[in-house]
Amino acid sequence: MKITNCRIPGTPELCDILIENGVFKKIAPNLTDVSGQTIDAEGRLISPPFVEPHIHLDAALTAGDPEWNASGTLFEGIELWARRKTTLSEQDVIERAVATVKMCALNGIQFIRTHVDVTDPDLVALRAMTQVRTMVRDLCEMQIVAFPQDGILSFPNGRGLMEEAVKLGVDALGAIPHGEFMRDYGVESLKFIMKLAEDNGLLVDVHCDEIDDEQSRFLEVLAALAISYGNGRKVTASHTCAMGSYNDAYTYKLMGVLQKAGLSFVSCPTESIHLQGRMDTYPKRRGLTRVKELLAAGLNVCFAQDSIMDPWYPMGNGHILNVLFHGLHIAQLTGRGEIDRSLEMITTNSAKALGIEDRYGLEPGKPASLLILDADSVYNAVRCQSPPLYSIRNGEIIARTEPAKKILAADSLGG
Ligand SMILES: [Zn+2]
């Protein structure tokens, strides 16, 4: 396959891309080699595939069942999910998860990290998701995080369920330290999963300080543990909303620890601005972590959707460019340079968090996976939330968009 007239960020002239056996063979201007199918990108922007680094596929598409979340709080969401969870079957989880992966694939996502609730004695959702991971492998590479929604020390046999999840084949271990009954349990839960991850060669991705409580300081614990294990590149701190409420003196000290630890951050801007700040009157906090400051400190930060129509969030449709668009507003990353760099937050930064850099990116020798976006620049792709006209994975077209036409009537200027 050959793709001609490609605009590649950082490359001044248009390039052609030659793909052979599912791998990028050459990326350069005016390639004369032709093999098989040719797509003319007509000067459009080429991007590596989008990555969804934080989503809950086991809960997706359950919004309104058994009830809609009336308060819009994280806490009501957890209560509703606890009720819905009692009715889960493997088939139910598989059908919703596969439907949600398809939504993501249609929007250019080819890598997904999903959290799966393991505070269930039967681990129904996890058993289902390990099957989904295989079923969808032509559309995306999936990582599964064992996520203890109701806690590890605060839930009966919480530690045993995490160990069982490891045996069932998860890729990463999670925790929810701010949700445990008390601070000591939260600290202990992090020590427990970091050791379990180390012993089993797994990644770590913690729901960390997802609360507007400025006293919620589990991020420092996670970072300190990552420093002592020397595994910061394998550790992700998701949400860290409380950091948006920390005082500046403490944050200054914390930043130094985070830089030493070298962990990745996932912020879910649409979800957090929706769920957080609910207990505030006015001023009402945005509930996001300090995205702009973390980036300025040289830390790896990416954006994620978190939910698609579940007890926590009634919206969502797999359109992660839309999440980026809103994230730039909410985190005030709207300088021209910030917008021009922003695609990294749903592509290369996320790939780094997932530890997939060896098989990700527009480089000869890597799997030929890319998007042709309907825009001539990153700026316009983000501004217009341009759909991927083609999503190509390992040299195969897996999804296409035919954009709707908008037509102004000829006499609308009154001529
Ligand atoms: Zn989450």
pLDDT (tens digit, 9 = 90+) per residue, 266-290?
Answer: 999 999 999 999 999 999 999 999 9
Residue type, 412: S
Global pTM reads: 0.97
- What pLDDT score was predicted for residue 10? 84
Least Cα distance to 311 among 112, 58, 16, 133 occurs for 58
> Is 271 noted as a catalytic residue in this protein?
no
Reduced to 3 states (helix: H, G, I; strand: E, B; else coil), residue 145 is strand
Catalytic residue among 76, 210, 271, 344: 210
- What pLDDT score was predicted for residue 409? 87
The C-alpha atoms of residue 359 and residue 31 are separated, in whole angstroms, by 24
Give 197 Cα–ligand 1 centroid separation in angstroms: 19
- What pLDDT score was predicted for residue 35? 66
Angle at 386 between CA 388 and CA 309, to 5 degrees: 85
pLDDT at 164 over 70: yes
Give 56 Cα–ligand 1 centroid separation in angstroms: 6
pLDDT at 34 over 70: no
Give 207 Cα–ligand 1 centroid separation in angstroms: 6
DSSP label of 48 = P
Give 118 Cα–ligand 1 centroid separation in angstroms: 13
- Residues constituting the chain: 415
Give 9 Cα–ligand 1 centroid separation in angstroms: 31
- Mean pLDDT across the chain: 96
